[in-house]
């Protein structure tokens, strides 16, 4: 977890059994009734399912459409808002317009999470991901990644501030009531990160 936090430039990270469970556990922990989760229409299914489990209102904006995102954000001015986007979209292969998304989240006081399942190992310095690619790591509150893509294993993680990760660790049912990753899978992820940092 320390190695993963350092990889994506965050204070602390938390490992889950699968990437799908990361999004289910995180979204259902940090949002709830009275909040709004705002998602790109082409976000991964695990994001949609996690958002539904939270009991927050779920709003979608057109894919990578910043004008539409701003309309949705402006219409939710009195509520807690969480925007979550894929860093690299799995179906289209295009990249989130992260600089504009960050600016809109700041303008409308929204928290931002990036699902970087397809960005870690591909974009950024030594594969550090989409947020690093744009130089916006400090502007994104939570970064999620999976081990089943470029790291060739199983499992997933979320990284952010120590306070938020500590909270998720004690609230996320997908973490607490599920088996942890097998030691061999953990070791293979650790070795894959080493290779990525040393050889790319």
Q: Any idea which residues carry the catalytic annotation?
A: 90, 118, 149
Q: Which helix (H) or strand (E) holds 155?
A: none
User: CA 156 to CA 75: how far, in whole Å?
Assistant: 33
Burial class of residue 53 (count of CB atoms within 10 Å of its CB; 0-12, 13-18, 19+): middle
Residue 54: closest CA among 39, 42, 68:
39
**Helices 19-30 + 162-171 axis angle, to 10:** 100
User: CA 108 to CA 69: how far, in whole Å?
Assistant: 11
Q: Which helix (H) or strand (E) holds 12?
A: strand 12-16
> For residue 179, what is the DSSP state?
P
Residue 12: closest CA among 26, 23, 25, 1:
1
Sheet of 80-86: strand order equals 12-16, 156-160, 142-146, 111-115, 80-86, 35-40, 57-61
């Amino acid at each position: 977890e320390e190695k993963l936090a350092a990889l994506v430039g965050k204070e602390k990270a938390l490992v889950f059994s699968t990437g799908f469970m990361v999004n289910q556990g995180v979204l259902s922990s940090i949002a709830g009734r009275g909040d709004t989760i705002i998602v790109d229409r082409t976000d991964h299914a695990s994001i949609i399912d996690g958002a539904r489990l939270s009991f927050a209102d779920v709003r979608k904006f057109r894919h990578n459409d910043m004008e539409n995102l701003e309309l949705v954000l402006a219409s939710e001015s009195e509520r807690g808002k969480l925007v979550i986007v894929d860093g690299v979209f799995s179906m289209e292969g295009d990249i989130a317009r992260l600089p504009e998304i960050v600016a809109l989240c700041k303008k409308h006081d929204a928290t931002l999470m990036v699902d970087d399942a397809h960005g870690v190992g591909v974009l950024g310095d030594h594969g550090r991901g989409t947020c690093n690619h744009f130089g916006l790591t400090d502007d994104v509150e939570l970064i999620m990644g999976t081990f089943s893509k470029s790291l060739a294993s199983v499992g997933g993680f979320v990284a952010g501030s120590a306070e938020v990760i500590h909270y998720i660790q004690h609230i996320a049912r997908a973490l607490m009531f599920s088996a942890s990753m097998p030691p061999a899978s953990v070791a293979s992820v650790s070795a894959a990160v080493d290779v990525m940092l040393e050889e790319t």
